[in-house]
Amino acid sequence: MSRELYACLHAVEFPAQALLRLRPDLQTQPVVVYDGPPLQETVCALNRHAFRRGVVCGLTRLEAEELGGIELLPRSLPVEAAARAVLLECAANFSPRIEEASAGTACAFVLDVAGSELLFGPPQELAARLRRQAAAAGFRVSVAVSANFHAARILAAAKRGLTILPAGEEARALDKLPLTVLDLSEDHRETFALWGIRTLGELAALPEVDLIKRLGASASHWRALARGVERHTFQPIEPAFALREFYAFDSPVEQLDALLFIAARMIDCLVERAVNRSLSLASLTVEMALEGGQQHRLSLRPALPSIDRKFLLKLLHLEIAAHPPPAAVLALTLTAEAGQSSKVQMGLFAPQTPEPSRLDVTLARLRAMVGVERVGSPALEDSHRSGSFHMQAFQSEDAKHPSSNTKAPCPTLALRRVRPPRSVSVVLHQDRPAAFRDGGERYQISAAYGPWRSSGCWWSVDAWETEEWDVLAADRNGEALGCLLLHDILRGLWQLEALYD
């Protein structure tokens, strides 16, 4: 084991990779990414298929269009920021000490992996696992492992695939690389070209004292880089874990299928990232940027945290169908809240219970058919108005069963509400109910308790003022009836509100 060991993760043409990561339909086609002010756009990134067609960085947008058969996409910095966070999260699975080494249109991270051999195996195996992890997240990267920080960074940028550099072999590995891998000014490049110095090996062979006399103190740094012996003070960054995916569409999207096509890939990425940390998705927030500057926001919260991609996509489909965006969608953002998966140990002879996901899908379909305000659990409102409640999201709770030693509760009188209340005609005697008629049946009141008056919202059009009477009555056959009569004073109406069982 080496006292120092670094692994560099390098993703070339990152603007193109960030856009294509969520577009598997374009990954087999020539794609270029352009950037710049209008009428002056130039190609800043491209994929391998476009390179084989003769496209290079620096071409104007018009020149790229003239080649034909090439998909042109505008550069999106928010998409690149979201993709960078995902790539950084992949690197964080292998080491907590990470330093960014991005340059130009490439995204690179250097990991301090010293001492991780017992956890991830030898450098060859670690590099392969690191590359597979990035590929699963949708990135094509190169990985170089070396005991020297700068050697790992330079080799990962210069070579494709995996590069494992044994300690002491840095100078030999860097020998044939061109001077363009160093961050040199144009004047210094011309000077080295006049001297006939074109590779790092030729630069490393120059005498250090004479080189410093002619080019200054910076020449000592370049020569040490070429020899693979330059020291570096590691400056780790602190990545914050956030389950978020962002995609900006090339043109406004109005079709639901096109929106779900991208959302499916975004959900796959969120689930994969959550699984890597042994987590699940407890909630999913969908934000859509619409034409005209509007924002459309939806929230999904399954009954239990889940990593079922098809289930989450089905919930999203039903939610968007129930609450479609009022305008075309320009950008889509999915933000997930992580949670722990719940596991239930079933008994050997216990019956199979339905999956929790079926309840969520059923509730989503009911909300789409009858409306959100008609599905859920009733919750009482903080008001004295009789029967005032609202619907809230359904949440299952564990039932509390009384133990065998617990004494059975005494029977109590139950109040059964009449929905909707029935209008009745009431006969008063000395301002108290004496009889009432419900439809064709007449009831004679033998006892009336009340009134219990309540009122509220006198300052608005929803003002109410009522009297409640608990009465004991009997019909013509002598059958007793206990009920609650409600007198709406403002409207002058009597209603049968509830029955006592």
Domain housing 235: 179-240
In a domain, 100, yes or no: yes
Contact yes or no for 481/499 (Cβ under 8 A): yes
Q: Same domain, yes or no, for 160 and 12?
A: yes
pLDDT value at position 203? 92
Q: Same domain, yes or no, for 228 and 285?
A: no
In a domain, 264, yes or no: yes
Q: Which of 161, 169, 166, 168 is nearest to 122 (CA)?
A: 166
Q: Same domain, yes or no, for 130 and 29?
A: yes
Q: Which of 265, 262, 306, 266 is nearest to 282 (CA)?
A: 306
Provide the pLDDT confidence category of residue 75 given band limits of 50, 70 and 90: very high
Q: Same domain, yes or no, for 159 and 261?
A: no
Ramachandran quadrant class, 13 (left: phi over 0; alpha: psi -120 to 50; beta: rest): left
In a domain, 272, yes or no: yes
**Domain stop point among 311, 339, 367:** 339
Share of the chain above pLDDT 70, in %: 92
pLDDT value at position 370? 77
Question: 136-140, 202-206, 279-283, 363-367 — which is least confidently predicted?
Answer: 363-367
Q: Same domain, yes or no, for 20 and 108?
A: yes
Nearest 5°: phi and psi at 336?
Answer: -110, 150
In a domain, 43, yes or no: yes
Q: Looking at the 3D structure of the chain, how many domains does it have? A: 4
In a domain, 406, yes or no: no
Question: 174-178, 256-260, 343-347 — which is least confidently predicted?
Answer: 343-347
Question: 56-65, 222-231, 402-411 — which is least confidently predicted?
Answer: 402-411
Provide the pLDDT confidence category of residue 420 given band limits of 50, 70 and 90: confident
Q: Same domain, yes or no, for 77 and 60?
A: yes
In a domain, 344, yes or no: no
Provide the pLDDT confidence category of residue 276 given band limits of 50, 70 and 90: confident
Q: Same domain, yes or no, for 33 and 130?
A: yes
Helices 218-227 and 208-215 pack at an angle, to 10 degrees, of: 140
DSSP codes of every residue in 419-460: EEEEE-EEEEETTEEEEEEETTEEEEEEEEEEEEEEEE-TTS
Q: Same domain, yes or no, for 25 and 122?
A: yes
pLDDT value at position 335? 93
Q: Same domain, yes or no, for 152 and 35?
A: yes
pLDDT value at position 404? 46
Provide the pLDDT confidence category of residue 403 given band limits of 50, 70 and 90: very low
pLDDT tens readout for residues 112-122:
999 888 889 99
pLDDT tens readout for residues 328-337:
999 999 999 9
Per-chain mean pLDDT for the chain:
87
pLDDT tens readout for residues 356-388:
667 777 777 777 777 777 777 788 777 777 777
Q: Same domain, yes or no, for 99 and 17?
A: yes
Q: Same domain, yes or no, for 161 and 15?
A: yes
pLDDT tens readout for residues 158-216:
999 999 999 889 999 999 999 989 988 889 989 999 999 999 999 999 998 988 989 88
Distance CA(91)–CA(447), nearest Å, equals 79
The whole-number average pLDDT for the span 231-256 is 87
Question: 46-55, 314-323, 392-401 — which is least confidently predicted?
Answer: 392-401
Three-class DSSP category at 480: strand
DSSP codes of every residue in 90-117: HHHTT-S-EEE--BTTBEEEEEE-TT-H
- Please give the radius of gyration of the chain, using alpha carbons only, rounded to the nearest integer: 36
CATH number for the domain harbouring residue 47 = 3.40.1170.60
pLDDT tens readout for residues 28-74:
899 999 999 988 899 999 999 999 988 999 999 999 988 888 999 99
pLDDT value at position 156? 94
In a domain, 354, yes or no: no
**Domain stop point among 193, 219, 240:** 240
- Give me the sign of the Cα torsion angle 135, 141, 144, 145: negative
CATH number for the domain harbouring residue 333 = 3.30.1490.100
The whole-number average pLDDT for the span 242-248 is 89
pLDDT value at position 277? 83
pLDDT value at position 365? 79
Question: What is the pairing mode between strands 71-74 and 31-35?
Answer: parallel
**Side-chain half-sphere CA neighbours of 92 within 13 A:** 16
In a domain, 305, yes or no: yes
pLDDT value at position 400? 44
Q: Same domain, yes or no, for 88 and 120?
A: yes
CATH number for the domain harbouring residue 209 = 1.10.150
pLDDT value at position 43? 93
Q: Which of 351, 343, 275, 353 is nearest to 304 (CA)?
A: 343
Out of 227-241, 372-386, 469-483, the most confident range is 469-483
Residue type for 340, please? Q
**Domain stop point among 339, 362, 393:** 339
| Cα dist from 69 to 31, 109, 286, 372, whole Å | 9, 34, 34, 47
Residue type for 289, please? A
Share of the chain above pLDDT 90, in %: 50
Sequence-distant (≥ 6) Cβ neighbours of residue 172 within 8 angstroms: none
Provide the pLDDT confidence category of residue 398 given band limits of 50, 70 and 90: very low
